[in-house]
Structure formats: structure tokens, C-alpha cells
Amino acid sequence: MDNRIPQGPALDPIPNLRHARSLFSRAGFSALGFLGAAQLDGFLVVFIAIILQVDTNHHALLTVATALQYLLALPICCLIMRGAPRLPRKQQKPKARYLLAAFFLCALFGQVGAVLGMNVTSILSDLLHIDLLNPLTEQVEKMTTAENFLCLAVLAPIFEEFLFRKLLLDRISAYGDGIAAFLSAFLFGVVHCNLYQFFYAFLLGLLFAYVYLHTERLRYGILLHAAFNFFFGFLPEWISSHIEAYNPALITVDPWQAAYLVYQFAMSACIILGFVMLCLLCRKISSDLKAYTVNLGRYFAPAMLNAGVLLTFLAPIGLFLLSLLLRSAPNQ
């Protein structure tokens, strides 16, 4: 279903490939600005830690760093995309059952992506003979419950959906919804800067882009993003923290262990229902994919092979190599 408003001569969505490459490159530089903000807030946090004479790994500073990353990234990304024409669309309100189906698909895509990420990371760890840890798990373990909720279920969904869905999709979808969804999802995966999160972030990015392109309402993507982060990120860590604090000398039955078993059952059910939804919606998804791939071949190379996207792709690799050098330095 194409809900784009018909274009006039002044809003011709396909002027030329050079203009397309330039716009896609700006989208890449916008994502690079997001990465740059993450590195800059790290320096600011170290500076604050020195002034306050506290450990740089203090949980409050990690929360401040997350908030600063988004607050710094917002004006940077908006400035980079400033002036790029927006493609107007008709807003549509989805039925509640479709949003529920989308949540189950989130569960399925998240699980598939997580398994891929863990296996690829494990292979890379064996090849390099180093332990590659999940930075998200490390960060979550260092924060308090309230801080985890704020970062995972509030800040990340709001800012990331605005930056990677509304800001980018409204502008690059002039060259086709398919290439716009793919590029925004790819950049969304890359900026997580680790293989653990890349695959499920990419798959979820495709789903969130699909929802936004069909509704033109940011709230639904934020809702799905927040629900996924809450149920698959915050909730299991919160329950696990209580299990670790359980003292068998004080009580004979651990209710948190039972709660975790219920959680595992519920999440398994969501993943199965996600697979069922995928099968039931197969015909509609297949029809939409045909429309999405109309201009995909023509604009795939300009979208991926440009300065902004390539630099954004290479930046996490450079940071990874730098971390390896710093890790091996004391052993020399």
C-alpha cells in the first residue's frame, strides 16, 4: 500500500542519481553525527567525573552519558538533514490487532537477530582469540533499575525513532520506500557499534520503518520500540537482579525464580506467535515487498556506495580496531 501524496512537477521524487547519492550520503553523515555525539559525550562524562572526583563507571554518569548522546545527536542530525525536502504522506491509524501482530513480529525478529549476533560474535571471538562482550549487558548491569528503565524504555525509543525513522524516512523515501527502509535500518544497526546488536537492530529497524511508512505517525514506532526494549531488555535484567540477590536462608521458595520461568514461557509464546503472524501475513507482506522493490535495484548502489554511508560503516570498525590496540598495549 502506497500512502504517498501524488507529486507535482516541483516535487518530482526521482530527479537524478547524483541527487539521490547526495541525499543518501547526508543520511549517512546524519548517522555518523549520532556516532560522533556518542564519542563526544564520553569525553564530557570523563570531564565531569574528574571534577566530581567519582569513578567514570559510576551508574549515574552512565545515565548522563546516554542522555547527553541523544541531546547532542538531535541538533547535529537535524542540521545535517536541514533543507532536504520531505515527502508528504497521508496519516493512517492502524487497527489494534495489527500493532499486536507487530509486537509479536518484534519478538521473532529480535530473537532471530540475537541468535545471529551471538553466533557471529562467537566465531569472531574464536578467530581473534579474545572475549567480545556485549556492551549493552555491561551497561545495564552498572545502572540502577530506574536508570535502566529511563534509558531503555523512554530515551532510546523516543530519540532513535525520531532520528532514524522520521528524520530520515521522510526525506529519503522519495526514492522508494524499499531503499529508504533498508538504508535507515542498516544505519540503525551500524550505530549500535557491535555485532551482538547489529542484526536484531537491523531487522527491527526494517519493521519500525514499515510501520512508520504505512502510518506516518511516529507514536506507533516509539510504542513498539519501547515495548520491545522493556520486555526483552529491561524486564529480564530486572528479574535476574532479584534472583541474584535471593538469600535461601531467609525464604524457602524463590518467587523471582518462578517469575523468571513465567517470563521465559511468555517470551517463547510471543516468538511462536510472531512466526504465526508472519505466516498469516505472508500474502500481504509479499504484496508490499513487490511495491517496495520497484526502485530498490536502481538506487541500491547510490544508497550504499557514498561518502556518508561508507564512513558510518567504517567508523565502528575503526573504533573496534582501536580498542584491540589499546587492549594489547599493556602486554607489549
Q: What is the DSSP string of 25-39?
A: HHHHHHHHHHHHHHH
* Nearest alpha carbon to residue 195 among 129, 122, 304, 131: 122
* Count of CB atoms situated within 10 Å of the CB of 210: 19
* pLDDT tens per residue, range 124-157: 888 888 888 777 777 777 788 888 999 999 999 9
Model pTM score: 0.88
pLDDT category, 14, cuts 50, 70, 90?
very low
Is 70 exceeded by the pLDDT of residue 331?
no
What is d(CA 236, CA 271) in angstroms, rounded to the nearest whole number?
15
Of 56-70, 108-122, 129-143, 318-332, minimum mean pLDDT range: 318-332
What is d(CA 37, CA 15) in angstroms, rounded to the nearest whole number?
33
Residue-level pLDDT at 10? 36
* Count of CB atoms situated within 10 Å of the CB of 122: 12
Residue-level pLDDT at 330? 55
Q: 3-state DSSP call for residue 4?
A: strand
* Count of CB atoms situated within 10 Å of the CB of 46: 13
Phi, psi of 6, rounded to the nearest 5 degrees: -55, 140
* Nearest alpha carbon to residue 104 among 227, 286, 288: 227
Of 9-23, 80-94, 267-281, 301-315, minimum mean pLDDT range: 9-23
* Count of helices and strands (H, E) across the chain: 15, 0
- 89's CB contacts (< 8 A; 6+ apart) are 3, 4, 5, 213, 216
* pLDDT tens per residue, range 152-204: 999 999 999 999 999 999 999 988 899 999 999 999 999 998 899 999 999 99
- 89 forms beta bridges with 4
- 201's CB contacts (< 8 A; 6+ apart) are 113, 185, 188, 189, 192
Q: 3-state DSSP call for residue 134?
A: coil
312 in Cβ contact with 28 (< 8 Å): yes
* Structure-block grid coordinates of residue 326: 589499546
Whole-number Cα distances in Å, 124 to 119, 194, 196, 279: 9, 12, 11, 33
Instruction: Decide: residue 5, CB within 10 A, 0-12 exposed, 13-18 middle, 19+ buried.
Output: exposed
Of 6-20, 22-36, 251-265, minimum mean pLDDT range: 6-20
Taking residues 277-281, report their average pLDDT: 90
Handedness of CA 196, 239, 278, 206 (dihedral sign): negative
Residue-level pLDDT at 57? 67
Is 60 exceeded by the pLDDT of residue 81?
yes
Taking residues 39-63, report their average pLDDT: 76
How do the domains of the chain map onto residue ranges? Answer: 14-314
**What is 205-244 written as a DSSP string?**
HHHHHHHHHHH--HHHHHHHHHHHHIIIIIHHHHHHHHHH
* Nearest alpha carbon to residue 182 among 228, 219, 213, 158: 213
- 4 forms beta bridges with 89
Q: Which of 51-65, 223-237, 238-252, 276-290 has the highest mean pLDDT?
A: 223-237
